[in-house]
Amino acid sequence: MLVVMQSNATEEQVRIVCQRIESLGLKAHPIPGAVRTAIGITGNESSVDLGVLESLPGVVECIPVSKPYKLVSRDAKEEDTILRIPTPRGEVLVGGPHVALVAGPCAVETEDQSLAVAERIAKTSCRLFRGGAYKPRTSPYSFQGLGEPGLKILARVRKEFGFGIITEAIDNESLDLVEQYADVIQIGARNMQNFSLLKRAGRAKKPILLKRGMSATLDEFLMAAEYILSEGNYNVMLCERGVRTFSDFSRNTLDLAVVPAVKKRSHLPILVDPSHGTGKRHKVLPLSRAAVAVGADGLLVEVHHEPDKALSDGMQSILPEEFATLADEVRQIATVLHRHVN
Amino acid sequence: MLVVMQSNATEEQVRIVCQRIESLGLKAHPIPGAVRTAIGITGNESSVDLGVLESLPGVVECIPVSKPYKLVSRDAKEEDTILRIPTPRGEVLVGGPHVALVAGPCAVETEDQSLAVAERIAKTSCRLFRGGAYKPRTSPYSFQGLGEPGLKILARVRKEFGFGIITEAIDNESLDLVEQYADVIQIGARNMQNFSLLKRAGRAKKPILLKRGMSATLDEFLMAAEYILSEGNYNVMLCERGVRTFSDFSRNTLDLAVVPAVKKRSHLPILVDPSHGTGKRHKVLPLSRAAVAVGADGLLVEVHHEPDKALSDGMQSILPEEFATLADEVRQIATVLHRHVN
Amino acid sequence: MLVVMQSNATEEQVRIVCQRIESLGLKAHPIPGAVRTAIGITGNESSVDLGVLESLPGVVECIPVSKPYKLVSRDAKEEDTILRIPTPRGEVLVGGPHVALVAGPCAVETEDQSLAVAERIAKTSCRLFRGGAYKPRTSPYSFQGLGEPGLKILARVRKEFGFGIITEAIDNESLDLVEQYADVIQIGARNMQNFSLLKRAGRAKKPILLKRGMSATLDEFLMAAEYILSEGNYNVMLCERGVRTFSDFSRNTLDLAVVPAVKKRSHLPILVDPSHGTGKRHKVLPLSRAAVAVGADGLLVEVHHEPDKALSDGMQSILPEEFATLADEVRQIATVLHRHVN
Amino acid sequence: MLVVMQSNATEEQVRIVCQRIESLGLKAHPIPGAVRTAIGITGNESSVDLGVLESLPGVVECIPVSKPYKLVSRDAKEEDTILRIPTPRGEVLVGGPHVALVAGPCAVETEDQSLAVAERIAKTSCRLFRGGAYKPRTSPYSFQGLGEPGLKILARVRKEFGFGIITEAIDNESLDLVEQYADVIQIGARNMQNFSLLKRAGRAKKPILLKRGMSATLDEFLMAAEYILSEGNYNVMLCERGVRTFSDFSRNTLDLAVVPAVKKRSHLPILVDPSHGTGKRHKVLPLSRAAVAVGADGLLVEVHHEPDKALSDGMQSILPEEFATLADEVRQIATVLHRHVN
């Protein structure tokens, strides 16, 4: 934390701020400047809310300096975390040189639909399958997912085609069930700061895919992951899925720059979801290429064999044959970065 | 929904879109224009995801027309909802001509602290007390609230000073407890789209205060309230607490225009939280005045007798004597609008 | 500027950063912390682009500390600036205890229309008239204003009814003309960072009304004003007119918290434009009340006697009789703040 | 335009709205629905401000349907525009299958600096050189560019190394000069809605590079280009350079999805500026790869041989050898899209 004093702050005011800092068990470092004095603070700041210094006489502003996350930080672990996701056909790696494709319908609608999509995806190299059994929907009158029967369908997809399964939990109750059936537990964007759920995810035995909230800063995103790691679950993948802006042409604005930004600060892998990130079918392929080109560790793509009959998000689902093209193009781009897609 | 066709769409393409619409049990109304054709849709749209029409050949765009909320809408109930909050000293009314003040510390820290703040607030006309026993915090290492012991302290504040109590629930477990101890259950901004929690709140026996999410549109905000009403709890107050923007000078941007916008569309009362809405002590008083001037049905203000020792949000808490001034000024402003503050 | 080093930065790396700082004629103040070292910088930073330090080995981040504006700052002038706007009927004061109303049509359309609106506004206490002769329009096919003939109509309004005239200049050529005809020269939101125009405004003999850009931070807004003052024109009023956000219910989001924020940092008066700020007629009255309640030094309101025939912005124009109500209500609210409306 | 009526609107109210529409020379198409009536409008809407219908009794909302741009639209010209930029060594093509690299320092500082950078860039395949002689700067106290002497230095770079030159004009005066010296005239983000300058650019004899404003919607961006085309200059390239959001880790948020969105609506080529778009050196390479992968028609990259001595934007400039790597990687990625970089 750095405390900036007013240009006309008195020496007495500076002294009082320093005293208050030291009374909190921290150390104050006044830096007298030509125009004004600033006061650096060192020590363990996390235990106190230093913002209150801003209300002392003569203070202009408190500027946070050190980042609040620890376990997710490259300071704590310098090398990339590589996640190992078990599937019936062996492990899928995510992170480091490994780029993972995850595909499947937005929602598990029926067994027939899920098997039909899965069968088509199985023909590509993709080995991870996604599909929602619990669907957070803006309207209470929209399809909310099949619940546990949906999880059973996913289990059948797993068995039939050898996919690892990623599916979303929306509260502690559903997380208990998802943990039994799936290989990766997804926490959705709307729950990124559902801290109760994050703590439960931190006690889960399965890897977590944590999606970025719609207006989450990078610090908040990493702090949400910190909640999971701080409870003991170190197997966390992040996922960028678009942020909310004034955009008039897409549902969200896919913030691809977050990928190198995460990689600079954290050892965790980060995937990109170009389907939610754009909300439009014709943007999924170009943004998938861009995501791999920017250095993402994987893609989460909505695929449906009959998108215009989908019960949710049909607008952003691509066809299985479009996904095959996508898989082919991103593989070539990964090669340029000396990475490989599995 | 309105489907806009490309300027060079063929008659055949228009016909196919109409067929698809009718096959979904809806009615298509083609409107041929000078440049292009648009197709209006009528019928019960909520059961189908019409966005998929956007992927049919010749279609440019699908534009949603009718609003998705029902029970919260003025279409369903024309006159203002007036909530009646029971307190040991009789009911406090919110909505219609009634403007309610709610004050108290961000977090319940100790019994002494809570009683000290409550005693000072009791000297004003304010009759509703707020304080968090469960605190959603960005960092897992920050103070997370006292939990049930905090609720017991609030119960003592209730008994001692006759306040109605408003406090936040952060998951289904805490909601069970909050429902027992408090007079109003708060759902915080980060949980505005925690649909599992909203449904539970809809089955609660107490009124709900629902805060707007950090980047929630008005439609999403009203739909979140619709979740609660659709489960049978019609006692819902909304609360604007600032949205996330590029602002470089305040934690959030308080969006006061949402107040007349809500009043145009919905019969529910809406309060404003100028403390979270600005994040800075010196902005609380001016924005409180502005909130009442714009037509808000109440204020939620953080008050602490020793803000620089607060365990959370000290930066945005005002002193009890500042709150007394605030109460006085907003009372005068309410008079200009022919309303009264209780 | 504060330079934050990585937790594992070597002493050598810290030394090199300090050397580089000193080679730029500045002074480096290393602050060793428990986790990492930070380096404070003092001296005249404005001449160099210190951000480049961020690329030196071992550096995490450069955090700007001192604010870049000087003449607009309360550091330069502690007391409120009160502008004196000459009108045929004597000066109108803006700032300090004085709240000014400015009203008129969005665009000067015809002499009849302008005189009709002016006649009605003249019946209220409002003494400043606004109306655009040069209209920046999103579409090249929209009405672009009458140009100099429009200015002549405004001169007639001035003479006939004794109003002071505020009208917009959109480039150096139009500014030359506006300077001749008007009492206050408006620089619109889209030109807030048209630095060539700002410099010209800084050499004008008339006061300037500078509107905030659609996505301008507070620092950028004040720096734009600094451009004008730095050329010698100290008669500047700021104007908040809404910023761009994700809002789905209003054209812009009126950021009223900027008013106390400006007043904390700068001595310049700040007005609010609730017409552009909301874009909807039914929000103009409530947001006008809120603007005066928050402490604005004036209002800029679009008034039209036949808004549904207006050539531009009819949606946000109110009727003369609605303006009379508005003037009455804000006068009462100003009284609560011990200010008076002229 | 579509007019949505209230659910309880009377037949009389619907009739009056239709009358008003027809009185404006347009045709009204009422669409009675189960819940409410909507009214479609056809005819030449551009001449009237239909938003005012929103204030008629019984109307909920007016929803714009047809897009306001004409000449920039794919409706006007279906095939991609390919620009031909003359250079001393022959034409450089931009658009269609052609991806163009543009590189150079943020600002022309001295002849030595410009020639040094140019010499290094000349060793790559890049054939277009950028560098600012007129610099729009947030602060009046920052380096504002060399002006005409800077243009002369660029002319020398052109002659010496055979580059085509792209440089910014900031007002009508500088545009006159830039038109003489440069091969492409750049209009910067801050001037995207400086309509006076856009009109002047529309009368220029040279191609225009138009940067997207910091908070410009896609419609506004295309309308700004429409200003240029409507004056007769059809040689326009667009350029995405990042938009303003709440991001806490980058200066702007590069909105790569705008590339496929532009390509769907318009025939104009669109480039990407990853230097301004991220503001950080370490993000330039990954975002450059992403931009070409998403389908951009070129890149604008800031290169400086001594970035830590740069007078402006050193933080986001990369070294010539980093640019050589960048050129190599994007060339490989372009191949995946069956395009070639020149």
Q: Render pLDDT for B109-139 as a digit per residue (tens, 0 to 9).
A: 999 999 999 999 999 999 999 999 999 988 8
Q: What is the pLDDT of residue A47?
A: 55
pLDDT in tens, A177-192: 999 999 999 999 999 9
* % of chain D beyond a pLDDT of 90: 70
Q: Under a CB-based contact definition with an 8 Å cutoff, are residues C94 and C83 in contact?
A: yes
C99 touches C124 (CB < 8 A): no
The predicted pLDDT at position B307 comes to 79
pLDDT value at C47 more than 70: no
Give pLDDT tens digits for B248-295: 888 899 999 999 999 999 999 999 999 987 788 889 999 999 999 999
Residues B191, B170: contact at Cβ < 8 Å? yes
Give the confidence band of A44 by pLDDT, cuts at 50, 70, 90. low
Closest Cβ–Cβ partner in B172, B190, B223 for A139? B223
Nearest CA in chain D to A279: D257
d(CA D274, CA D252): 10
Of B40 and A88, the structure prediction assigns the larger pLDDT to A88
Model pLDDT, residue D26: 83
Name the band, by pLDDT with cuts 50, 70 and 90, for residue D34: low
Give D59's pLDDT tier (boundaries 50, 70, 90): confident
Give residues with Cβ within 8 angstroms of B79, minimum separation 6: B267
Res. A48: pLDDT tops 80? no
Q: Which residue has the higher pLDDT, A5 or B85?
A: B85
Chain D hits for A243, Cβ within 8 Å: 245-247, 253
Strand B83-85 and strand C184-187: the pairing is unpaired
How many alpha carbons lie under 13 Å from residue D322 in its C-beta half-sphere?
22
Question: Using CB atoms within 10 A of its CB, is residue D99 exposed (0-12), middle (13-18) or buried (19+)?
Answer: buried
What residue in A sits closest to B47 (Cα-Cα)? A142
pLDDT of residue C45: 63
Q: Name the packing angle between helices A320-336 and D281-294 (round to 10°).
A: 140
Tokens of C77: 């002038």
Three-class HEC string of C162-214: CCEEEEECCCHHHHHHHHHHCCEEEECHHHCCCHHHHHHHHCCCCCEEEECCC
Average pLDDT over residues D98-108: 97
Question: Cα–Cα distances in Å, from B128 out to B93, B164, B180?
Answer: 11, 5, 17
Higher pLDDT among residues C4 and B246, named by residue: B246
- Structure confidence at residue A49 (pLDDT): 67
The pair of three-digit structure tokens given for residue D328, joined into one six-digit string: 């190599």
- Give pLDDT tens digits for B1-13: 778 888 788 889 9
Contacts of C199 (CB under 8 A, 6+ apart): C227, C231, D140
Given a cut of 60, whether residue C91 has pLDDT beyond it is yes
Tell me which residue of D212, D213, D185 sits closest to D201, measured CA to CA. Answer: D185
Structure confidence at residue B44 (pLDDT): 64
Residue D48: per-residue pLDDT: 62
* A-to-D residue pairs, Cβ atoms closer than 8 angstroms: 120
By C-alpha distance, the chain A residue nearest C32 is: A42
**Distant-in-sequence, close-in-space partners of A321: CB < 8 Å, separation ≥ 6:** none
Computed over every residue of chain A, the mean pLDDT equals: 91
Neighbouring chains of B at 3+ CB pairs under 8 Å are: A, C, D
Q: What are phi and psi of C36, to 5 degrees?
A: -155, 165
∠ CA D140-D142-D144 to the nearest 5 degrees? Answer: 85
Three-class DSSP category at A4? strand
Minimal Cα–Cα distance from B146 to chain A, Å? 15
Instruction: Return the biggest CA–CA distance within chain D.
Output: 76
Phi, psi dihedral angles at D28 (to 5 degrees): -105, 140
Distance in Å, alpha carbon of D172 to nearest chain C alpha carbon? 9
Q: Do B43 and D33 touch (CB under 8 A)?
A: yes
Q: Tokens 């365990």 label which residue?
A: B311
Minimum Cα–Cα distance from A189: chain B residue: B193
Mean pLDDT of D308-327: 86
Q: Which chain A residues touch C29 with a CB distance below 8 Å?
A: 29, 31, 40
Closest chain C residue by Cα to residue A253:
C246
Q: What is the dihedral of CA D147, D151, D157, D158, to 10 degrees?
A: 160
State the complex-level ipTM: 0.90
What is the four-CA torsion angle of B305, B310, B314, B318, rounded to 10 degrees? -10
> With 80 as the cut, is the pLDDT of residue D311 above it?
no
Nearest-by-CA chain D residue for C220: D138
- Asked if A49 lies within 8 A of B140 by C-beta distance, the reply is no
List all chains that touch chain D, counting a touch as 3 or more CB pairs closer than 8 Å: A, B, C
- H or E stretch at A104: strand A98-104
Confidence of residue A46 (pLDDT cuts 50, 70, 90): low
Residue B310: predicted pLDDT: 72
Contact state of A218 with D329 under an 8 Å Cβ cutoff: no
Angle at C292 between CA B106 and CA B304, to 5 degrees: 15
Sign for the pseudo-dihedral over CA of C278, C282, C287, C288: positive
More confident residue, B44 or D256: D256
Contact C315 D54 (CB under 8 A): yes
Contact yes or no for C261 and B245 at CB 8 A: no
Chain centroid to CA A328 = 25
Q: Cα separation of A310 and A298, whole Å?
A: 24
Q: Kindly list the residues of chain A whose beta carbon comes within 8 Å of any beta carbon in chain D.
A: 215, 217-219, 243, 245-250, 253-261, 264, 277-278, 282-283, 286-287, 289-295, 329, 332-333, 336-337
With DSSP H G I counted as helix, E B as strand and the rest as coil, what are the percentages for chain C, rounded to 5? 40, 20, 40
List pLDDT tens digits, range D182-215.
999 999 999 999 999 999 999 999 999 999 999 9
pTM of the model: 0.91
What single string gives the DSSP state of each residue in C256-310?
TTHHHHHHHHB-S-EEE-HHHHH--HHHHHHHHHHHHHHT-SEEEEEB-SSGGG-
Q: What is the mean pLDDT of residues D297-324?
A: 87
- The mean pLDDT value for D163-177 works out to 97
Q: How confident is the model at residue C1 (pLDDT cuts 50, 70, 90)?
A: confident
In the predicted structure, residue B67 carries a pLDDT above the cut 80: no
Q: Cβ of D293 and A333 within 8 Å?
A: yes
Residues whose CB is less than 8 angstroms from the CB of residue A33 and which lie 6 or more positions away in sequence, other chains included: C42, C43, C66
The whole-angstrom distance between B203's CA and the closest CA on chain A is 14
The Cα B59–Cα B79 span in angstroms is: 41
**Which amino acid belongs to residue B79?**
E
Task: Give the pLDDT band of residue D65 (cuts 50, 70, 90).
Answer: low
Provide the token pair at C123.
């019946």
Q: Which two tokens stand for residue D151?
A: 């243009």
Farthest CA pair distance, chain B:
76
Q: How far is C220 from chain D, CA to nearest CA, in Å?
A: 6
CA C342 to chain A, closest CA, distance in angstroms equals 33
Residue C219 CA to residue C239 CA, distance in Å, equals: 14
> What DSSP line would sit under A131-200, residue for residue?
-BSS---SSTTS-----HHHHHHHHHHHHHH--EEEEEE-SHHHHHHHHHH-SEEEE-GGGTT-HHHHHH
* CA–CA dist D86, B255 (Å, integer): 50
Distances (CA, A) of D3 to B61, C164, C235, C315, D53: 17, 39, 45, 14, 8
Q: What pLDDT does residue A188 have?
A: 97
Using the beta-carbon criterion (under 8 Å), do A244 and C246 form an inter-chain contact?
A: yes
Q: Is the pLDDT of residue D257 over 90?
A: yes
Distance CA A162, CA B316 (A): 54
